[in-house]
Amino acid sequence: MTEILVLVDHVDGAVRKTTHELLTIARRLGEPSAVFIGSDVSAAESALKQYGAEKVYVVDDADIKGYLVAPKAEVLAQLVEKTSPGAVLISSSAEGKEIAGRLAVKTDSGLITDAVDVAADGTTTQSVFAGNYTVQAKVTKGTPIITVKPNAATPEAVDGAAAQEAFAATVSDAAKGAKITASEPRKATGRPELTEAAIVVSGGRGTGGNFEPVENFADSLGAAVGASRAAVDSGWMPHSFQVGQTGKTVSPQLYVAAGISGAIQHRAGMQTSKTIVAINKDEEAPLFELVDFGVVGDLHAVLPAATEQVNQRKG
């Protein structure tokens, strides 16, 4: 069976849900092989085995830690040369897309980014041109390099062998041209990462700057909190919360938009969500054309009532 390489997205060995999704997709294409770049694979072993990795290439990052993405691209390029995989799957984060772009150049291969689905024959589905079109594409040259958006697949647990194989890559000095001189850990909010969350609740101009109903409803659902550009431009929320063409692109199982009119800039960042709910006082709001469920009403009344119901049902 053709080997499919999956770059493991992890934090100090803790495997992110996006990797579980990639391993699930990889099983459609062939035999999943995880590529773990880090110092200690032991924390990742269980998760990689649980989601079907048949092999785990372990790359010690002692020589490349602290540099930007170029060394990781070189590691993957050497693994592609060694294994001749059927495809390489990478999470569609900012770092993942840069690694994928460099890898495509190094291997003279075709590149597809931001896929929301990958079929068994390697055909991908993407939302392009600010979400105005849904297209299907397939790499026709070299090894398909594909970055996949979070929540593109439901992780399916299937035991794999997870046989470990150490891989020693030779990283060039040129790849170490940019070094991280300082970093600061992100402050913990207790909520899921916006781009990875299965549920996102976003607020817009209709909040009037009061995001408390949005945050309370999000917390009742275990959801991430997002914001429209209007809310961010007004200074109500930091830019890191912005969903849209000039913010973050999300594709959760459930997206709730409260007080957001639905301009194309915002729709471009969320319209691949599986189920979309809108709450707005204006029944003519453009977002109602896109949603699965719409509530015409004041979010300051609707969200607290919804939060109360969710909490009651949770017991």
Segment 155-208, tens digit of pLDDT:
999 999 999 999 999 999 999 999 888 888 777 778 999 998 999 999 999 999
162 and 122 in one domain? yes
pLDDT confidence bin for 129, thresholds 50/70/90: confident
Task: Determine the structural domain holding residue 265 and report its residue range.
Answer: 199-314
Domain assignment of residue 72, yes or no: yes
Domain assignment of residue 191, yes or no: no
252 and 207 in one domain? yes
The answer to whether 43 and 95 have CB atoms below 8 angstroms apart is: no
Residue 99 DSSP code? H
86 and 35 in one domain? yes
Domain assignment of residue 41, yes or no: yes
Domain assignment of residue 21, yes or no: yes
230 and 169 in one domain? no
CATH number of the domain bearing residue 262:
3.40.50.1220
Residues 65 and 87: their CA atoms lie apart, in Å, by 25
Mean pLDDT of 242-265: 93
Pairing of strands 3-7, 87-91: parallel
Q: What one-letter code names the amino acid at 295?
A: V
Domain assignment of residue 188, yes or no: no
Domain assignment of residue 233, yes or no: yes
Per residue, the 3-state secondary structure of 117-145, as one string, reads: EECCCCCEEEEECCCCEEEEECCCCCCCE
Residues 155 and 19: their CA atoms lie apart, in Å, by 9
pLDDT over threshold 80, residue 28: yes
Angle, alpha carbons 182-187-189 (nearest 5°): 160
| Cα within 13 Å of Cα(171), Cβ side | 22
Residues 201 and 164: their CA atoms lie apart, in Å, by 40
Buried residues in 144-175 as b, exposed as e (16+ CB within 10 A): bbbbbbbbbbebeeeebebebeebebebeeeb
pLDDT at 13: 87
Domain assignment of residue 289, yes or no: yes
240 and 133 in one domain? no
The pair phi, psi for residue 74, each rounded to 5°, is -65, -40
Residue 200 DSSP code? E
Six-digit token string for 260: 């957001």
Tens digit of each residue's pLDDT (9 = 90 or more) over 258-271: 999 998 889 989 98
The pair phi, psi for residue 20, each rounded to 5°, is -60, -40
Task: Among 176, 209, 240, identify where a domain stops.
Answer: 176
204 and 147 in one domain? no
155 and 65 in one domain? yes
168 and 20 in one domain? yes
pLDDT at 50: 96
144 and 233 in one domain? no
238 and 154 in one domain? no
Task: Among 120, 142, 176, identify where a domain stops.
Answer: 176
CATH number of the domain bearing residue 104:
3.40.50.620
pLDDT confidence bin for 65, thresholds 50/70/90: confident
Residues 17 and 30: their CA atoms lie apart, in Å, by 20
Question: What's the domain count of the chain?
Answer: 2
Q: How far is CA 187 from the centre of its chain?
A: 19
Cβ neighbors of 209 (< 8 A, separation 6 or more) are 231, 234, 236
Residues 97 and 145: their CA atoms lie apart, in Å, by 10
215 and 165 in one domain? no
Domain assignment of residue 193, yes or no: no
pLDDT at 87: 98
pLDDT confidence bin for 130, thresholds 50/70/90: low
120 and 41 in one domain? yes
